[in-house]
Structure 1
Amino acid sequence: MPRGTYLHLAEDEPVEERFQCAPGPGGWRYVGERSDGGRVDLTVDGRWRQIRVELTTVSWLIRGGLAGHDLLWVRHPAGPAPAAPAEHGVRAAGFLGDSAGFLVAVARWLRLEPGEDAPVRLVRVQGPSLATLTVDQHWRLAEIETYETETAPLPVERYEVTDLATGEVHTVHLAGDVVLQAPNLELTDLQSPPSLPS
């Protein structure tokens, strides 16, 4: 069960996210606790569909997940939920947040082979207010490099991710269910090896 620490570098002050993740009989779960009071709890099913997601900051909370082809969620101030919080929905593959867990979930859901690419629509959640924005991206698995380790060979995938609205391209390096490198995200501690996809 991988556990460790990511450092978020996009903030005015770097924010630590202590995480743990693990495969289970029906899917995979990622839990992260941030030093600024934020929390992410992401559960996917056996097809890597985001079936249960909870994001919290000091002031706001989002709960949601996929229902068929639609991504549904409620967003409301932290604390007791309103009697009837407004429900939002859009046709999308899942959420995309600051946490590395979302990058893992999207990459595994796409199931790309080296050289393959695919478009994907996601709902980006960002900032202390957990504001949501629908984004279209293009993911390409550029290559897989294998590194020898003391225990077993470690395949590292390099994805090129393009924002279709801006044309901006960034790179994500992934080893199993751990992000080794991504924009504004640094893996600073890993206490156990990644779980590799079967």
Structure 2
Amino acid sequence: MPRGRYALLDPHDHTPFAHEHFQCAPGPSGWRYVSQVTTPEGDHRGSVDLALDELGRPLRLELHAGGWQVRGAALDGVTWVRTDPTGTRATEGNVRAHAFTGTSPAFLVATARLLRLTPSAAATRVRLVDFTEPVLAPLTVDQSWALTERQAHTTDNGPLIVDAYQVTALDTGERHTVHLAGDVVVAAPGVELDDLRSPPSDFPA
């Protein structure tokens, strides 16, 4: 069960604006990721609880940030309920999308698991609902994912397979690369793996 810490970086000056303390593991019904997000000073900032089924679809999502809360799941596309900071009212949303995304590195692993790409496969288009911080506002985005490289790195625990994905935002054409080792993000824009206390888990075939 991987446990560790990601540094989340400001996209402009690359300074850390948060740390995400996480643990994750595959199980008989899929994969689960839980984390607590803190400021660089150590104050509580939010949390993530994401569970996928064996096909990579979101069984359950619960996000907290800025006093806001989102609960969601795959239902007629994806469906969610977003609650305001006072808790006095809630709004429900539904979009014909494949899954969710957001600031947490968990969503990069989840999207890769959902698509199950191979290095020889063509790029695949995916529609996601992005919960943007600081108020978890929902935004529907279209992306293209392609698995461009797979490398084996020698470690004390045996070979570590790292996959490189090219991710393209279809509205702007902006491209970036995401490196994943099993269910851990090794490197991605705005994400640094600061600490990993156990090896990544491999998803079952």
TM-score of the pair, normalised by structure 2: 0.91
1:73 aligns with 2:76: no
Report if aligned partners of 1:31, 1:39 keep a CA contact under 8 Å in 2.
Answer: yes
1:34 aligns with 2:37: yes
Q: Which contiguous aligned blocks of 4+ residues in structure 1 show a shift greater than 2 angstroms?
A: 11-14, 78-82
Query: Could you tell me how far apart the structure 2 residues matched to 1:144 and 1:64 are?
Result: 32
The residue type equivalent to 1:118 in the other structure is T
Report if aligned partners of 1:4, 1:20 keep a CA contact under 8 Å in 2.
Answer: yes
SS in 2 for 1:29: strand
Q: What's the C-alpha RMSD, in Å, of the aligned pairs?
A: 1.4
Query: Could you tell me how far apart the structure 2 residues matched to 1:66 and 1:78 are?
Result: 24
Q: Deviations over 1:100-156 (max 9, x none)?
A: 111001001101000322000001111111111100000000010011111121110
Q: 1:34 to 1:53 in 2, by over 3 A?
A: same
- For residue 191 of structure 1, the aligned residue among 177, 193, 197 is 197
Query: Could you tell me how far apart the structure 2 residues matched to 1:40 and 1:98 are?
Result: 10
Within 5 A, what are the aligned runs for 1:73-152? 73-78=80-85, 80=87, 82=89, 85-116=90-121, 117-152=123-158
Q: 1:167 to 1:2 in 2, by over 3 A?
A: same
Gap regions ≥5 residues in structure 2: 40-44
TM-score of the pair, normalised by structure 1: 0.94
Report how many aligned residue pairs link the two structures: 195
Within 5 A, what are the aligned runs for 1:173-192? 173-192=179-198
Q: % of aligned pairs identical?
A: 50
